[in-house]
Amino acid sequence: MHWSLIVLVLAIVVISGVLLAVTWTEKRQARQLKGKLPFAGTLVTDSRTAVVYFSRSGNTALAARHVAARINAQLFPLEAPDYQLGLSGLAHALKDANALKTEPEALPDITPHVLDMTPFESIWLGSPVWLYSPAPPIWAFLEHNRFDGQHVVLFNTFNSHFSDEYIEKFRAKVMARGARSFEHRHVLRGRMTQQLTPDDMLRLIEDEWLDG
């Protein structure tokens, strides 16, 4: 019993340390990325392309702003109050990402949850990857919107892996919501201690997503 308690305490200490390290890294990244590549995409009123994205620490936001600037797209950020930076937001993110695997209806509140997509021919949907799947907010947006006759591009930034199973589920839902075609683009940023710099990430996006 004594050793079991010690092991339990050590496990709690290790897990707490990892979560604190992750939240510290996320906050540092958010500060670094906040002012990089500012872009008022919502002012592009005549574009036939939309970029809709959710970002927690700012990496997917940076990718979205770069794509929108390069293809002259209208930019729509999604907000999800449950996932603010910090331990509470991280805990909610992990809990909801895990729940979504077995409960597809367990979707978070997002703002806006509905957008008029009818003016657009192409729609880019951006999200980080949580527990091998696009994060819950982009699934929530998918649930509340239609993409009739449109080309949809899912784009992800992630630290380790994504599962083809969840990408295929996302594709199937996009097509069921009326899309005419679907693509998936992604960039592996690497683990917390060995990540691409923001500039390196943008170079990869330029070369691999936007044909240089």
The whole model's pTM is what?
0.82
* Residue 44 pLDDT greater than 70, yes or no: no
* Residue 192 pLDDT greater than 80, yes or no: no
Mean pLDDT of the chain: 84
Apex 54 CA angle, 92 and 167, nearest 5:
90
Cα distance between residue 107 and residue 99, in whole Å: 9
Question: Average of pLDDT values for 104-125?
Answer: 95
Residues 6+ apart with CB under 8 A from 49: 71, 72, 73, 74, 120, 121, 122, 123, 124
Domains of the chain: 2-208 (3.40.50.360)
Question: Average of pLDDT values for 50-73?
Answer: 94
